[in-house]
Chains A and B, each alone.
Chain A
Amino acid sequence: MLRQIGKRLATAIPSLIGVVVVTFLLTRVLPGDTAAYFAGPAATPQAIAEIRAKLGLDRSLPEQFVSYVKDLATGNLGNSLSTGRPVVTEIKARLPASAELTFLGLFLAIAIAVPLGILAAVKQGSIIDHACRMVATAGVSLPVFFTGLLLVYVFYFLLGWAPAPLGRLDAFSSAPPEVTGFYLIDSLLARDLETFRASLAQLAVPAITMAVFSLAPIARMTRASMLAALASEFVRTAKASGLTPTTVIIRYAFRNALLPVVTTLGMVFSFLLGANVLVEKVFAWPGIGSYAIEALIASDFAPVQGFVLTMAIMYVALNLLIDMLYGVIDPRVRMEG
């Protein structure tokens, strides 16, 4: 079992190497002068030269790569130009906000999309089926930032149900003592229901926005793979053996249909992590996405690089998790090797 896990971990290594190389290339092999870029638009030639030496840009590319990897290994992603603080510290502080939003969104999406997909496939041609197809096609067509704005307009401006889209907590609440960094969990741990309610209120609309966005591909894939599974010969055998519909649908069809759905989750994560940036901008959410946008606008490259790297590493880790989940579900994968 440990060997299995080790093997799976090993499969992530090429991806990690790729990620590190690409992020390095993105900063160093650029048209234009990286030092000038890092120094900012108003720097003097002398300051640029200093920065070049400080960044080690006067050395050869392989040397630069080695020191880049060394920095990464020691957790040094450089300092932000505008705030002067280390990028790692900032990202660490902001990551829980992004993660809380993304995971809640994904959780909502799965909770709605999977049952919807199953129902649509079981009752093919019914109203639920048509609804599912509509959701699937419309959902992938909605620009996530636009959905967010629409929801803000409806729930904040028209109905007044949601608070103003300005961050994780309103002005009257204070953050719960940090344990996980997730306000929902931390406030419950602190038995502070008031803060829990306040942070849930802030989180609800952005999380729904994320859910609407990721619902479509999950529902679509669940429906398609359920249809394929239901039409399979082993389902026919199960039916011919008189097994009950629940057994046939859940134990025989759905377990098999789950495999492609789990694969789709990888793609959904990719979309979600990207959508996260846009949603954070719409809701002034203090996560790593808005951090990256602020840096982008200020032409402050170190935070952007740190952001891309963090996102990529998180994504590689999530894919690894999905891979392991796949191994749990499918004995054919488990036995391999």
Chain B
Amino acid sequence: MTAALPLLDVRNLTVEFATRRGIVTAVEQISIAVAKGETLGIVGESGSGKSVTSYAVMRILDRAGKIANGTVSFSGIDIRGMKEDEVRDLRGREMSMIFQNPRAALNPIRKVGKQIEDVLIRHVQAAPSDAREKAIEILRQVRIARPEERYHAYPFELSGGMCQRIVIALALACRPQLLIADEPTTGLDVTTQKAVMDLVVELTRERGMSTILITHDLGLAATYCDRVVVMEKGKVVETADSAIIFKSPLHPYTQKLMRATPRPNATLRGLLPEGEALPNPIPAPPANDDAAMLLKVENLVKEYPRQGATTSVFSLFKPKAPAADATFRAVDGISFEVRRGESVGLVGESGCGKSTTSMMVMRLLDPTSGRILFNGEDIGGTKAKDFAGLPQRRRIQMVFQDPTDSLNPRFTAVRAIADPLLRMGGLKGGAAIRARCEELARRVGLPVDLLDRFPHQLSGGQKARVGIARAIALDPELVILDEPTAALDVSVQAVVLNLLQDLKVSLGMSYLFVSHDLYVVRMLCDRVIVMKSGRIVEEGPTERVLAAPEAEYTRELLSAIPHPPV
């Protein structure tokens, strides 16, 4: 970039929030510049202050927050010193913003076309007479099919990806010079993510706009940004061109973040920061029937009543609807197997049926039809609510997606870990149970003095460890991992993934690993199953599937995952 005046120039910005515990500095003395036409990535983990920075630039901090120091200038105008109604004229017209969770970002009870009109009319880009026409034109520009119809749609009638296009349409309606995209694709599937990001890039390039992309995903930043700013705990730790920063990161935090990001050729140990390599675990003595079948699923089907089928008292009076078109198959006749000591990945986008499958194997959900054989015995016949009483219960355990949600808020860590021991462990006496819990805590790397804390007093990574300790408390043979790291920052994810792998080796367990991320699956799993619309589209050894995918859908998935240059 040349010495030309940057479009946005943030200098020594400090943002503070008044909280119950006094003033908290969210962003401290940061300086960021965005040139005309440039795409800048702001990367950081949760709590790094990246979103707060963008709110400060737009001056939409909530009531508790304020800019305590520094300047923000936009094409040479001082934004911090502007009157509120002057900034309001800039928002939407000169600089605009798109948010994560697009559905919540739209007014739920106003037609999307009307919402676009509101912005157009506000900034005098359209008169009430031609606003509708212009709104439809903008919908067309963001590739909304049948824009005349969609104009009348409400957000709840549109998919997540479609809602994000509407939000983009809102942001770009008045042809601003700067677009701030705050985690625009978090929560969207990878293929949708790619489509949305490609659209943003295309539209902004075409109009010569500058873009700030705020993300936790280094891969995303590497794929779409010219320059990257790395933030940690409210401070900028490194700024460089993306080509340079991913090849030779200078700051230790950037290096750590880079290593922790799953990429095509990474190994599990390679995710950990240098110098923190763990010793390799001692493998469990191989069982006699080592390669024996542990789990065999045959023609598993789960049907749900279609949405809109009412459950009110009136359904009592109505004749029963014919079953065929009133149901929808979340899982449509799938078969697979897991051998002893094996890790199998179950991969697919949201709604593909992978979670439903895992819940059925877990025996938390009753299948509509099909068989689930565990150690050769059919466990699918027992009702989910009675399964707790069966001896197989302790052999199949699970690690949940959200470590916070999966811990009872009123149980201490030790009480949570002790729960399976108390119900099925056969251990007598509080002291024995306590001792076992402490042993488990050490196993999963949870400091023993944290055992008496409640979930809200633990960090995300610590909660994940409690969940893992609980799952392995009874030495299960099969553990289902349901996106166990999806709610964690990448650096924590790296540690947890390594822990899971070590536990598997040293305890001789089998894993069924449910995930949307093929690169994560690659590091942990021997075999992978790719699902789409309730069916298996491809299955095979992980290396083979990733290197030479046979199904078109697998190829699409792989190419959609953004990753840092190797």
Q: Per the CB under 8 Å rule, do A and B touch in the complex? A: yes
A residues near B (Cβ < 8 Å) are 10-11, 14, 124, 231-234, 236-244, 247, 251-252, 255-256, 259, 329-332, 335-337
Which residue of chain B has the shortest Cβ distance to A329 in the bound complex?
A: B109
Establish whether residues A236 and B99, one from each chain, have CB atoms under 8 Å apart when the complex forms: yes
Given contacts A11-B314, A242-B119, 20 further A-B contacts (CB under 8 A): A233-B105, A236-B99, A236-B105, A237-B106, A237-B170, A239-B60, A240-B58, A240-B60, A241-B171, A242-B92, A243-B118, A243-B122, A244-B88, A251-B118, A255-B109, A255-B110, A256-B107, A259-B109, A332-B154, A337-B310
B residues near A (Cβ < 8 Å) are 58, 60, 62-63, 88-93, 96-97, 99, 101, 104-110, 118-119, 122-123, 154, 156-157, 167, 170-171, 308, 310, 313-314
**Bound: A231/B507 CA distance, A:** 48
Which residue of chain B has the shortest Cβ distance to A239 in the bound complex?
A: B60
Which residue of chain B has the shortest Cβ distance to A229 in the bound complex?
A: B107
Establish whether residues B108 and A256, one from each chain, have CB atoms under 8 Å apart when the complex forms: yes
**Bound: A213/B34 CA distance, A:** 58
Establish whether residues A241 and B92, one from each chain, have CB atoms under 8 Å apart when the complex forms: yes
Residues in B with CB closer than 8 Å to A256 are: 107-109
Give the residue of B88, B96, B109, B119 whose beta carbon is less than 8 angstroms from that of A330: B109
Which residue of chain A has the shortest Cβ distance to B116 in the bound complex?
A: A241
Establish whether residues B97 and A240, one from each chain, have CB atoms under 8 Å apart when the complex forms: yes
Establish whether residues A242 and B122, one from each chain, have CB atoms under 8 Å apart when the complex forms: yes
| A230 CB → nearest B CB, Å | 10
Which residue of chain B has the shortest Cβ distance to A241 in the bound complex?
A: B92
**Bound: A245/B482 CA distance, A:** 44
Scoring A239, A241, A252 by chain B CB atoms within 10 A of each residue's CB, the highest score goes to A241
Establish whether residues A242 and B88, one from each chain, have CB atoms under 8 Å apart when the complex forms: yes
Establish whether residues A236 and B110, one from each chain, have CB atoms under 8 Å apart when the complex forms: no
**Bound: A60/B119 CA distance, A:** 70
| A237 CB → nearest B CB, Å | 4
**Bound: A233/B182 CA distance, A:** 12
Establish whether residues A241 and B308, one from each chain, have CB atoms under 8 Å apart when the complex forms: no
**Bound: A11/B310 CA distance, A:** 13
Interface pairs A-B: 6 shortest CB-CB: A242-B92, A242-B91, A241-B92, A233-B104, A240-B97, A237-B105
Residues in A with CB closer than 8 Å to B122 are: 241-244, 247
Establish whether residues B92 and A243, one from each chain, have CB atoms under 8 Å apart when the complex forms: yes
**Bound: A211/B180 CA distance, A:** 48
**Bound: A232/B108 CA distance, A:** 11
Establish whether residues A233 and B101, one from each chain, have CB atoms under 8 Å apart when the complex forms: yes
Establish whether residues A251 and B60, one from each chain, have CB atoms under 8 Å apart when the complex forms: no
**Bound: A251/B117 CA distance, A:** 13
Establish whether residues B91 and A240, one from each chain, have CB atoms under 8 Å apart when the complex forms: yes
**Bound: A184/B83 CA distance, A:** 50
| B93 CB → nearest A CB, Å | 6
Establish whether residues B118 and A247, one from each chain, have CB atoms under 8 Å apart when the complex forms: yes
Establish whether residues B63 and A232, one from each chain, have CB atoms under 8 Å apart when the complex forms: no
| B240 CB → nearest A CB, Å | 29
Scoring B109, B157, B167 by chain A CB atoms within 10 A of each residue's CB, the highest score goes to B109
Residues in B with CB closer than 8 Å to A124 are: 63
Residues in A with CB closer than 8 Å to B99 are: 233, 236-237, 240
Give the residue of A239, A244, A332, A337 whose beta carbon is less than 8 angstroms from that of B108: A332
Establish whether residues B123 and A242, one from each chain, have CB atoms under 8 Å apart when the complex forms: yes
| A328 CB → nearest B CB, Å | 11
Residues in B with CB closer than 8 Å to A243 are: 92, 118-119, 122
Give the residue of B90, B107, B154 whose beta carbon is less than 8 angstroms from that of A238: B107
Which residue of chain A has the shortest Cβ distance to B153 in the bound complex?
A: A331
Establish whether residues A332 and B105, one from each chain, have CB atoms under 8 Å apart when the complex forms: no
Give the residue of A237, A251, A335 whose beta carbon is less than 8 angstroms from that of B157: A335
| B92 CB → nearest A CB, Å | 4
| A337 CB → nearest B CB, Å | 7
Establish whether residues B310 and A242, one from each chain, have CB atoms under 8 Å apart when the complex forms: no
Which residue of chain B has the shortest Cβ distance to A10 in the bound complex?
A: B314
Which residue of chain B has the shortest Cβ distance to A259 in the bound complex?
A: B109
| B66 CB → nearest A CB, Å | 15
Residues in A with CB closer than 8 Å to B108 are: 234, 256, 332
| B79 CB → nearest A CB, Å | 13
Residues in A with CB closer than 8 Å to B119 are: 241-243
Give the residue of A14, A238, A241, A329 whose beta carbon is less than 8 angstroms from that of B313: A14
**Bound: A255/B115 CA distance, A:** 14
> A241-B171, A242-B119 in contact; A234/B96 too (CB < 8 A)?
no
**Bound: A336/B308 CA distance, A:** 7
Establish whether residues A241 and B105, one from each chain, have CB atoms under 8 Å apart when the complex forms: no
**Bound: A278/B432 CA distance, A:** 65
Residues in A with CB closer than 8 Å to B104 are: 232-234
**Bound: A331/B62 CA distance, A:** 29
| A212 CB → nearest B CB, Å | 31
| B512 CB → nearest A CB, Å | 35
Residues in B with CB closer than 8 Å to A251 are: 107, 110, 118
